[in-house]
Each structure stands twice: as C-alpha cells, then as structure tokens.
Amino acid sequence: MSPAAPRLAGQAGKGLAGHTRISTQALTSVAQAAAADVFGVAPAAVRVSWTDDAGALALAVSSPISAPSLGTVRASPGRLERTGGSIAQRATLAKALILATVEHLTGSRLSRVDIRISGLQATEQGRVQ
C-alpha cells in the first residue's frame, strides 16, 4: 500500500478539490441500458434524449416493449398479468424504475422521465387466428 493510500482512504466521505463530470454519452448509455432492462429489449433499440428542465435533467425515452404475442394472450389471458400488466401499466412503472436506476448509477438528479412506446416485440412466436 502506498503512503498516500491511508490518507486518501480517510477522505473517502469528503469531497476532494476538482470536478467530476459524466459525459452526455455516458449518461445516454446508462439510460439506454436501464430502459432496455425494464422493457426487455436490446439497448440498441432504445432512443434517449436529454433536455434542460429549469436547471434539472429531463430524460425522454423512446423504446419498443417486449410482451407476449396476441395469440398467447388470447389462449391464456392470465399471462398478461404475469408479465407485469398491460403495456400502459408497465410504461408507467418504468418511469420510476428508470429514474431511480439512472440516478443511482450516475449520481445525477433527474426531474422527470417521459416514455414513448415505439413498438412491440413479441416474446413468443405465434399466429393470431
């Protein structure tokens, strides 16, 4: 251990002089990953943008959402509830989950998260009859 290590370890809870910034690209990557996890899609399918909301960060997310095929829901209506509810219910819950995840991982404060569901990715193959 270097002689400076004990001195720095004791300052872990204290701020050191200087700046720490997270780039827009890093924030975007974290937000894409968080939204992709919540919606059950690939991060590349998620689009995010940032705006200034009276000095705070506002996040807009546009993403497809994974859901059982219509044939599966018709055959087993209870399946929809086991996947987290309707698309509207899942999108509403996603706002809080994405906000909490992005804030936790980046240390940034978000004022809001706006969600736009851009499509549906069926999780199971099947034909609607």
| CATH number for the domain that contains residue 117 | 3.30.70
Q: Give the contacts of 1 (CB within 8 A, at least 6 positions apart).
A: none
Least confident of 56-65, 89-98, 105-114, 118-127: 118-127
Q: Does 129 map to a domain?
A: no
pLDDT in tens, 87-114: 888 999 999 999 999 999 999 999 999 9
Q: Does 113 map to a domain?
A: yes
Strands 110-122 and 47-53: unpaired
Provide the residue range defining the domain that includes 88: 25-122
- What would the mean pLDDT of 72-85 be, rounded to a whole number? 67
Mean residue pLDDT of the chain comes to: 83
